[in-house]
Structure 1
Amino acid sequence: MKPIAILGAGLAGLTAAADLKKRGLPVIVFEAGPAIGGMAASFKDAEGFSYDFGAHFVSNRLAKAMGTEDICRTVKHYGEAVLVGGRMRSHPFGLMREPRFALGALKAKLSAKRAPAASAADWFRGAYGEALAEAVAIPLAEAWSGAPAAELAPSVGEKFGHGALKSLYLTAAQVLTGRAVCNGYTREMPESAGVYHVYPEGGLSKLLAPMATSVASNVRLGSPVEKVVVEGGRVVAVRSKGETTPVSAVVSTAPVNVLPKLVEGTAALDELASFRYRPMIFVNLKFEGRGLLPDTMLWVPEGGTPFFRLTEAPISMPWLAPEGKTLITADIGCQVGDEWWTMPDADLAEACLAGMNRIFGDLGPRYLGAGGVIRTSVAYPVHLEKYEAARRRFALATGVEGLWSVGRNGEFAHILMEDVYWRTKRRMEEVAAFVGGGARGAEAADHGRIAA
C-alpha cells in the first residue's frame, strides 16, 4: 500500500500518524522544521522562568489518552477577570454583579425570538445583552481578530463556553475539589468535576513524547512539502525537497490558506486563499512577587494598552517561576510587517510595561526585565462573514478526494488541544476507511467529494 502522507509534526500531525500506524497503515510525516512539536513548545531561561508558545490548556483526560498522565501535575486553580470601567471583575460572575450587565443579559434571555444573527456583533448582543456586548465581548473580539465585529460571522460565538448554570456548577466544583476544573475548553467531550487542568513536567513538548516515540521512524524532519499532486480530483503524490513520493492519501495540518499554493492539479481549494489568520505577539515580563493580576488571566477590552490580555501563569502553576517571582505574558494582536510586528523585543517589553503601569500603578521597582518574545503569523482563525459559506463547506470536506485537513490551523476552527486530539482521531477513521477500499472506502471517498 502506498503510504499516507502527513504534513506537520505538531499535536494534530502526530495524533494522526500514531493513530494510523496503530491501525497497521503506512505513514510518512513531513515536518518542515528541525524538530517535532509545532506550537506545543515550552522554554526555560537560565533564571528558572518557564513560558509556553502561547496559551495551552491540557486536561487530565487528554493526558491519560496520550499516555502522559504520570508526568503531569494537577493545576489547583484557574480563573479569569476582566478590566471594565477601571475595575477588575471576575469572569463570569463578578461581571453579573454589575446591574447594567445583569439586567441586559436577563433582557436578552427573556426577549422574544430574534432573527438569526447576521454578524458576531449581533450574536454577542443576543447572547449577552447590549451592555455586556458593547463593553466587553465586542471590543475583545475585535482585538483578537483585527476585524470589526460587524464583519465577523456569528460562528465566532461557537468558541465561547457553557451557559450560566453549567458554568456555575463547574466553578463550584473547582472550589470543592481544589482542582482547576475545565470550563469551556472542549466541545467534543463532556466537561464535569472530574475533568481538570494539568501540566506536564518539563513542558508541553513532553506531552507529545509517547506519540513521537511511536512514530519516530516515520518522521522526516527538515522536509517541507512543496506540492500535493492531484490527478483526476484525487491525491496521488507529494513532492518534498525535489523528490516525488506516491501516496494513498494526505493529511494536512497546514493553515488552510496555504493549501491552494500546495495543491497542484485542481482549483477546488482556491477559495481558501482568502481566509485570514490573526498574527500575534506574546511578550513575557518578569517581576518580583506574585499575584500582580487579580487572577490567572486578565482581559483588557477598554483599549489604551498594546495588549488585550495578560496572563500570570504562576498563579495557577507556581513551578513556572522561581519562588517569590512571577512571569506575565502580554498578548498583542497585530499584522505581519506592521509597527508592532517589526518593533525590537526590548521596545515591545517597555511598551507592555507602560501599559501595565497604567492599570496597576508603577511596577518599575518590581520589574526584573523581559523574558522571551514570540511571534506567530497564525494565532487565531478569523471567521469573516464574507467567506463564511466557504468555511462551512470546507468544514464538511476539502473537496479533493483523499485529502484531509486537521488541527486548529488545518480546520480553521476555534478549538483547543483536547478538541484537536479527539477530532483528529475521528477523522482518521475516515482516512483508514478510504485507503482500505471496499464499501467503507467508497463512502469516505464520497465524503471527500462533498465540497467539490
Structure 2
Amino acid sequence: MSNPIAILGAGIAGLTAARELRRRGLPVIVFEAGKSIGGMASSFKDAEGFSYDMGAHFVSNRLAEALGAGDICETVKHYGEAVLLNGRSYNYPFGLMRSPRLVGSAIAAKLRRTEIASASDWFRQTYGDALAQAIAIPLAEAWSGASAEDLSPAVGDKMRAGILKSLYLKAAAHVTNRAVCNGYSHDMPESPSVYHVYPKGGIAKLLEPMAREVADSIRLESPIERVLVEGNRVTGVRVKGETIPVSAVISTAPVHVLPKLLEGTSALDHLAAFRYRPMVFVNLRFTGRNLLPDTMLWVPDRTQPFFRLTEAPISMPWLAPQGKTLITFDIGCSVGDQHWTMPDDKLAELCLDGICRIYPHLRQAYLGPGGIVKTPISYPVHLLAYEQERLRFAETTGVDGLYSIGRNGEFAHILMEDVYWRTLKRTEQVAAYVGQLPALVAGLRDAHSALRKRAKPVGSKRTTEPAPIAKAG
C-alpha cells in the first residue's frame, strides 16, 4: 500500500477530502490541531436557550444531502436581506430599484465602458456611481479593511447573481414557501429545488456523518509542525516530533501560514504577504422578534462600528426562546486595534448604542450580551498588490503533491456549498497524482541508477560522463 495522504484540518473541506479519497481506496490521515472536528463550523446553546453558530448559518438542502445530513435538517421558510441607506431600509436587491437616482446611475454606467482595474472600478461599472459610492464601496472597505482602489475586481465574483435570475428565484421562494438559495453557490446551478435548511442541534451536526465515515483516520490535537519537501515534491510531515512519510498533503491552513510549515523549499514564501481580515462578532439578546427589517441588514454608514446586522431567528425561530431574539453585529478590525482589545462589556455597549441610533426603542428591549467571538482570520483580502500571485496559486501551489482547499486554503470568497464541490474536484487531481506517483518515483530511481552507472572512479573521487548529445537531422 502507498504512503497515506495527509490532510491538514478536520473542517468541512478536510473531511470532504478524506471521505472522497477513502471511497477511492486511498489511505488518509486527518491531522486536526484542535480538540474536536468542525473547524469554523461550531455551535453551542447558553443556559437561557439562545443558540450560537460559528461559521455559516445557511446551508442548502443539496449540500446537506451530499454530506449525509439531509435527514436531520429542517427547512428554512424565509430568508432576506436589506440595506440601510440614509436612515431608511431597502429590500436587497429590488427595493433599491425603487430609487430613480440609483437606477439612473446604473443605466448610465451600462452605457459607458471604462477599463476595470480595481474593485472600485468594478462596483461603479456594475452598479453605477451612486450605488457604488453609497453602498458597495463602503461595505467592501468595511469587511476588507482596504481601500476599494487597492482591491482586485475579483471581489465582485461573489456578487455576480443577475437580476433576472434573482427575480425568478425570489418568485419561486414565494410560491414554494421555502428560502430558495440565491447566490450561495457559483459552482453548481441554483433553482427552486435548492433551498436553505438548518441541521437540528446546530451547524456542527452537519459534519458528523462524514466524520463517522473517516473516524479512524482522524488525529485530534495533532498540529502539523512541518511539511517535508525534497526536490520540489512533498515526501512527509512532522507531527509531535514524529516524521510520517506521505504521498501527498492537502492543506486547509490559511495560505499565509503555509510557507511557515514547509521545510525544503521557499517556493511559497510570497504567500506570507497575503492578508485576511480579522473580525469581532458581537451577539446581543433582545425581547421580541423581527426587530430588523429582514434576516440580514447591511449598514454602509461608516460612522457605525459594524457593517452588518443579522437576526438569524427571523429565518430560524428555533435559535432563540419564544418571544426573544438574537442579533449579531459584524465589526471589521485589525489585531491589536481598539475594537480587538476592547473588553466584552464595552463592545456590547458600543453595539447597543449603535443600533439604538437606528432603532431607539430597542434599548428597552435589550436583555444583555450573548457572547462575543474574535477571529484573526475571517475574510481573504484580495489586494491588487498580489493579485497575479493569487491567480497562479488558484491553479497550483507549485509544489508537487501539495494541495490547498477550503476558503482559507484557497484564499477565495467561497461559501460552504462551493467549498464542498471545489474540494471534490481537487481530490480528483490528488487521486490522479498519487496514482502516477509510483511510476514517477521509479523513473527518478532509474535515472539516478543510470547516472551512477555512467560514473567512473578517479582515485578516491568519482566523475560523471556527460550524456551524449544527439545530432540534428
TM-score (norm 2): 0.91
In 2, Cα distance between the equivalents of 1:392 and 1:315? 38
Which runs of 5 or more residues in structure 1 are unaligned? 443-452
2:387 aligns with 388
Letter in 2 for 1:250: V
2:328 aligns with 329
In 1, Cα distance between the equivalents of 2:48 and 2:42? 18
1:252 aligns with 251
- The answer on 1:238 being equivalent to 2:204 is no
In 1, Cα distance between the equivalents of 2:14 and 2:437? 26
In 2, Cα distance between the equivalents of 1:9 and 1:410? 13
1:306 aligns with 305
Letter in 2 for 1:107: A
SS in 1 for 2:229: strand
- The answer on 1:8 being equivalent to 2:9 is yes
- The answer on 1:108 being equivalent to 2:109 is yes
2:92 aligns with 91
SS in 1 for 2:186: coil
1:121 aligns with 120
1:370 aligns with 369
* Structure 1 residues 441 and 187: CA distance shift in structure 2, 3 A: farther
Whether the 8 Å contact between 2:56 and 2:416 is mirrored in structure 1 is no
What displacement does 1:108 show? Answer: 1.7
In 2, Cα distance between the equivalents of 1:438 and 1:225? 23
Whether the 8 Å contact between 2:295 and 2:312 is mirrored in structure 1 is yes
Whether the 8 Å contact between 2:41 and 2:56 is mirrored in structure 1 is no
What displacement does 1:172 show? Answer: 1.0
* Structure 1 residues 313 and 253: CA distance shift in structure 2, 3 A: same
1:63 aligns with 64
Whether the 8 Å contact between 1:57 and 1:416 is mirrored in structure 2 is no
What displacement does 1:439 show? Answer: 11
What displacement does 1:345 show? Answer: 1.1
What displacement does 1:55 show? Answer: 3.8
1:53 aligns with 54
How many pairs are equivalent?
Answer: 440
CA RMSD across the alignment: 1.3
1:327-353: CA deviations, max 9, x gaps?
Answer: 000000001111111111111111100
1:359 aligns with 358
Letter in 2 for 1:307: F
SS in 1 for 2:62: helix
Which runs of 5 or more residues in structure 2 are unaligned? 442-473
In 1, Cα distance between the equivalents of 2:55 and 2:64? 19
- The answer on 1:174 being equivalent to 2:173 is yes
What displacement does 1:56 show? Answer: 3.3
What displacement does 1:114 show? Answer: 3.0
What displacement does 1:299 show? Answer: 0.3
In 2, Cα distance between the equivalents of 1:118 and 1:57? 33
In 1, Cα distance between the equivalents of 2:20 and 2:384? 35
2:469 aligns with none
SS in 1 for 2:208: helix
Whether the 8 Å contact between 1:34 and 1:222 is mirrored in structure 2 is yes
- The answer on 1:399 being equivalent to 2:398 is yes
1:157 aligns with 156
In 1, Cα distance between the equivalents of 2:43 and 2:75? 18
What displacement does 1:112 show? Answer: 3.9
In 2, Cα distance between the equivalents of 1:440 and 1:10? 32
Whether the 8 Å contact between 1:12 and 1:424 is mirrored in structure 2 is yes
1:216-257: CA deviations, max 9, x gaps?
Answer: 111110010011010000000101111110000000000000
What displacement does 1:163 show? Answer: 1.0
In 2, Cα distance between the equivalents of 1:381 and 1:293? 28
SS in 1 for 2:15: helix
- The answer on 1:78 being equivalent to 2:79 is yes
Whether the 8 Å contact between 1:289 and 1:326 is mirrored in structure 2 is yes
Letter in 1 for 2:381: V
What displacement does 1:438 show? Answer: 7.1
Whether the 8 Å contact between 1:27 and 1:218 is mirrored in structure 2 is yes
Runs of 4+ in 1 over 3 A off after TM superposition: 438-442
2:431 aligns with 432
1:217 aligns with 216
In 1, Cα distance between the equivalents of 2:221 and 2:345? 31
In 2, Cα distance between the equivalents of 1:233 and 1:118? 34
2:378 aligns with 379
Within 5 Å, which residues of 2 pair with 1:132-147?
132-147=131-146
What displacement does 1:113 show? Answer: 3.5
Question: Quick check: which has more Rg, 1 or 2?
Answer: 2
What displacement does 1:441 show? Answer: 8.1
1:126-157: CA deviations, max 9, x gaps?
Answer: 00000000000000000000000000011111
Whether the 8 Å contact between 2:4 and 2:248 is mirrored in structure 1 is yes
* Structure 1 residues 440 and 193: CA distance shift in structure 2, 3 A: farther
Whether the 8 Å contact between 1:41 and 1:53 is mirrored in structure 2 is yes
In 1, Cα distance between the equivalents of 2:55 and 2:91? 22
Whether the 8 Å contact between 1:434 and 1:441 is mirrored in structure 2 is no
SS in 1 for 2:222: coil
TM-score (norm 1): 0.96
In 1, Cα distance between the equivalents of 2:204 and 2:323? 26
SS in 2 for 1:365: helix
In 1, Cα distance between the equivalents of 2:437 and 2:276? 38
In 2, Cα distance between the equivalents of 1:100 and 1:240? 59
Letter in 2 for 1:414: H
In 2, Cα distance between the equivalents of 1:112 and 1:31? 51
What displacement does 1:78 show? Answer: 0.3
Report the more deviating stretch, 339-348 or 26-35. Answer: 339-348
SS in 1 for 2:290: coil
2:228 aligns with 229
Letter in 1 for 2:17: A
In 2, Cα distance between the equivalents of 1:8 and 1:166? 36
1:445 aligns with none
